[in-house]
Structure 1
Amino acid sequence: MVNFRKYISGAAVLASGFFLAQSTVSTVLYSQAYDNQKTNLNLPSPVTSVVERTILSAKELVDINVNTMVTDPVLKNAEWGFVVYDPKTKKVISSYNENTPLVPASTTKLLTTETAMNLLGENYRWMTQLEYSGSIDENGVLNGNLYVVGSGDPSLGTNKGGALSYREIVSDFISGISHEGIKRVNGDIIIQTALFKGNISRLPENVVWLENNNYYLPVGTTREISPANEKLIVKKGGNFSVEKKYFYVSPYANQMVYADKYEGDGILTTKLPDAPAYLANTLRASMVKSGIAVSGKVTPRMTDPMPEARKLVSAYKSPTLGDIIYYTNQHSDNSLAEALLKTVGFQKLGDQTSESGRIVVTTHLKEHAFDVNGLSYIDGSGLSRSNTVTPISQAKFLTSLMDEKYYKTYLTSLPVGGQSGTLKRMFIGTGNGQIFAKTGTLNKVKTLAGYLKTNSGKTLVFSLMVNNYAGSVDMVKKRMEKLLEPALDL
């Protein structure tokens, strides 16, 4: 714990206590108001002269706020850590429990998104291709198959980060089919998505299963996907309660997960669709509606030991990785974060599992001198309570990125206090436009880590993580704002 008494003389402490009782700690000790009251203090003239000239520095004010938070009813029984770090001098300016491993919640995404940007490049894109096999006769009949070839695009059809909707992608595919002169397909539409198998997977170990009657799943919303294609009937009399309105059973993972909507009568809408299958089914329906008959059906083919010769009809490129990371960090999108974890695992180890992704991320961090003491990296999104990291390692990690060529893109992806993303409603007054940071929230966990632009134009790095606090999350957010407020003057 910081002992701020070493900064001020005993007499100054007495005087400062008088003024702190009447004003905020950010008030300087010398003011006109003091001149108007000093005759009532009955202090000896020499001491009065010293007090008049005493001004608390920004660092001292930060340290005072740290001491105040230690005894605050909301935080006094909590586990929390804090550090403000100067990237130029490579020195800690102020800290508390900076070496304590804490649950980082969604600030885990700082590690996931940076690893992806470092290893893949900010201009990386996923490709989803339409191809055909066989031949086209003089009547425009394709005697062969159409192939929808996916690459694990996590934004496919979602409009996230500028991604196209399914309708737009299908429209482009049909234009390509028409350009090839195809008027009828005597064959199937084959889905080939062996990379991620449609992004279907089980949850990471130790994920947050139930909080406030909500089940959390590291796969995000599918607003643009028609739920009519993705329903599962649950037998009545099962372990479902009408009051718990956010339950559904994934038809893919065979376990309970989180959902936005409970439709009643045992019908539960899934949030985990087979996106390539939906694209292929939409393509088939749209082709038939456009007068292009398809004799076969939509069928998946995860492995293809004897692949047919195929010709490219049309290709859809996802938004850039930089765009995807911007959306991920601004909206704290768990689905995209988990997909990025799988992507780096596949690109480096040839395996699309979360475990391979974890190996790639932790190896990358070690190679870049990340302090792994206290680090436990379980998932890409931060939903697992088994994730831990220390404030000082977060701060030094963020410092190291300032020399990377993609730093500007990475910095821009972070929410801005009072202005954008998950920080839009924090730092609305003081600190507005000066805090660039990733937020994290779980039940009784609130975290914040990123960059701080001071009033003098310097860039500082900070990490603030609070676990097991009392009261509401809004109470903790206000205390976070209060702690960082004087740091703007460092």
Structure 2
Amino acid sequence: MIKFRKYISGITVLATGFILAQSTVSTVLFSQSYDNQKSNLNLPSPISSTVEKTVLSAKELVDINVNTMMADPVLKNANWGFVVYDPKTQKVISSYNENTALIPASTTKLLTTETALNLLGENYRWMTQLEYSGSIDENGTLNGNLYIVGSGDPSLGTNKAGAWSYREIITDYINGLSREGIKKVNGDIIIQTALFKGNISKLPENIVWLEKNNYYLPVGTTRDINPENEKLIVKHKNNFSEENKYFYVSPYINQVVYADKYEGDGIVTTKLPDAPAYLANAFRTSLVKNGISVSGKVTPKMIETAVDARKMISIYKSPTLADIIYYTNQHSDNSLAEALLKTVGFQRLGDQTSESGRIVVTNHLKDQGFDMMGLNYMDGSGLSRGNNVTPISQVKFLTSLMGEKYYKTYFSSLPVGGQSGTLKRMFNYTGNGQVFAKTGTLNKVKTLAGYMKTNSGKTLVFSLMVNDYSGSVDMVKKRMEKILEPALDL
């Protein structure tokens, strides 16, 4: 009888808490310590009696967890939103602030990668070609130029997504010269790529300096960027050189990034690694080492007024777009995401700028019926704090993709809870192998959006975005897991 009274007492507390949760948000299931609230509230354990299980459904447990988080010390002063959605019934199962525009961080890549898949196709590849002009004499001397013609391959020489290294590409090119009988080059090696022009560009608006505990300084200049108290320029004496070197320092952490030039007025300029130029110079060096002399030099030529007749020697093809997107979403690779943005811009508008990419992505989203209310799409990667999106628009967008022919490829690119990518260290127990989602992390921003397979076999769509939380990112991740766990029983 005593044990039975204890169970009845536990049920009464839970029922009372649930009623209060629907009436007074600020006082619902208030607990000073979230980590101890289970014992304080006497919540049912997984081995609770049949009576308890009939009192609270999975949906009610989700709602209770959400309402509990409103009073949690980590989240009570945060700006956050949540929604779990049933794609079959097209109805919201549970939500909180689902129409609030929030910073999505790297869940922005969900929009970028889908646009690329839709507009370019899963089998799209970037080509980097080796060509020659002129003629080859009887001694194997090429009286003409070699051309490396690029197309903006973001994976060139990186080994990302199965891309070849520079060494492998160069070996293939040298083999191509051998097939053509070229033993000497009496001319230049010309780099020709008009896709991504220039090495210097402005940083994304409202750029952040801290991501995943790593210091981040992207390519470009700090002109027009003024995050108060977030940047310091310092000189550093190089013991091996008389020159002063400049470093950009965040006051939040001790890491620094080298800058080529400090222009004054809070401006630091950095260089964009020029992949085709690196390939061309490494190619020339390898030719000489292999006994193939080159009389000329490596030189870029964006536009030719008179194009010589050329012959193809070799074509290097990048991994497929499907492979690139898998790598991008699994590793949350910012540089690949920004390259995808520029590529769709170039393919649709003939312009390689990020602005053209933004226009193409936003127009595509409109055509797809995306809920544009609250959307502010600033970059392809989600690094900008100027990005905004609502949780409800994310889940409806993800739902709309389930009928697309490339959905399997898109779905497969997402990290899996407890198993792969950026979700490998979340959902290690409950939800392991059942949560398929894109993560997002910025300073005081943690987000998660994607799909979940419930214990009953359903596929649900969810979005959970937390801005301006208290405590550490690990504390937020634990709260996110706690909110989502009951939904697995839906």
Offset, 1:306: 1.4
Partner of 1:410: 410
1:423-450 deviation line (CA, Å, top 9, x unaligned)? 0000000000000000000000000000
Equivalents in 2 of 1:324, 1:240: separation in Å? 31
1:118 is paired with a residue whose SS is: helix
The residue identity in structure 2 corresponding to 1:195 is: L
**TM-score, normalisation: structure 2:** 0.84
Shift of 1:55: 2.5
Task: Name which of 230, 233, 236 aligns with 2:244.
Answer: 236
Residue 234 of structure 1: how far off its partner (Å): 9.7
Match of 1:92 in 2: 92
The percentage of counterpart residues that share the same residue type is 74
Decide which moves more: 12-21 or 273-282.
12-21
- In structure 1, list runs of 5 or more residues that go unmatched: 1-8, 33-50, 220-232, 258-269
* Aligned-partner residue type, residue 217 of structure 1: P
Q: Distance in 2 between matches of 1:253 and 1:145?
A: 38
- 1:255-266 aligned at under 5 Å gives the runs 256=268
Compute the displacement of 1:53 (Å). Answer: 7.8
The corresponding residue for 2:21 is none
Structure 2 residue aligned with 1:197: 197
* Residue deviations 1:34-75 (CA, integer Å, cap 9, x gap): xxxxxxxxxxxxxxxxx6684310000000000110000000
Displacement of 1:236 in angstroms is 2.0
SS at match of 1:433: coil
Tell me the distance in 2 between the aligned counterparts of 1:468 and 1:241.
23
Aligned-residue offset at 1:198: 6.8
Q: Which residue in the other structure is 2:49 paired with?
A: 31
Alignment partners' CA distance in 1, 2:390 and 2:12: 33
Distance 1:302 1:311, change over 3 A: same
Is the CA contact 1:157–1:163 (under 8 Å) kept in the aligned structure 2?
yes
- 1:18-43 alpha-carbon deviations (Å, 9 max, x no partner): 996467645379629xxxxxxxxxxx
Asked if the contact 1:112–1:340 (Cα under 8 Å) also holds between the matched residues in 2, the reply is yes
The equivalent of 1:101 in structure 2 is 101
Say what the alpha-carbon RMSD is for the aligned residues. Answer: 2.9
1:436 matched residue in structure 2: 436
Contact 1:132/1:145 (<8 A) preserved: yes
Inter-partner Cα distance in structure 1 for 2:55 and 2:473: 33
CA contact (8 A) 1:129 1:148 kept: yes
| 2:232 match | none
Q: Which residue of 1 aligns with 2:465?
A: 465
Match of residue 34 from structure 2: none
TM-score (norm 1): 0.84
CA distance in structure 1 between the aligned counterparts of 2:442 and 2:130, rounded to whole angstroms: 41
1:218·1:334 contact (CA, 8 Å) conserved in 2?
no
- Paired residue secondary structure (1:277): helix
For structure 2, which runs of at least 5 residues remain unmatched after alignment?
1-7, 18-36, 221-240
What is residue 144 of structure 1 aligned with on the other side? Answer: 144
Partner of 2:378: 378
- 1:464–1:276 distance in 2 versus 1, CA, 3 Å: same
Give the partner amino acid of 1:197: K
Contact 1:248 1:256 in 2 (8 A): no
Report the more deviating stretch, 205-214 or 124-133.
205-214
Written as runs of structure 1 = structure 2, the 5 A alignment for 1:123-162 is 123-162=123-162
Match of 1:246 among 244, 256, 271: 256
Q: Deviations over 1:102-131 (max 9, x none)?
A: 000000000000000000001000000000
Q: Contact 1:152/1:199 (CA < 8 Å) preserved in 2?
A: no
Q: Residue 214 of structure 1: CA displacement? A: 2.5
**Cα distance change, pair 196–52 in 1 and its aligned pair in 2 (3 A):** closer
**Kept after mapping to 1: 8 A contact 2:219/2:271:** no
Contact 1:79 1:466 in 2 (8 A): yes
Are the equivalent residues in 1 in contact too, given 2:209–2:216 (CA < 8 A)? yes
Distance 1:99 1:119 in 2: 28
Asked whether the equivalents of residues 44 and 52 of structure 2 are also in contact (C-alpha less than 8 Å), the reply is no
Change (3 A) 1:144 1:336: same
Assess if the C-alpha contact under 8 Å between 1:135 and 1:144 holds in 2.
Answer: yes
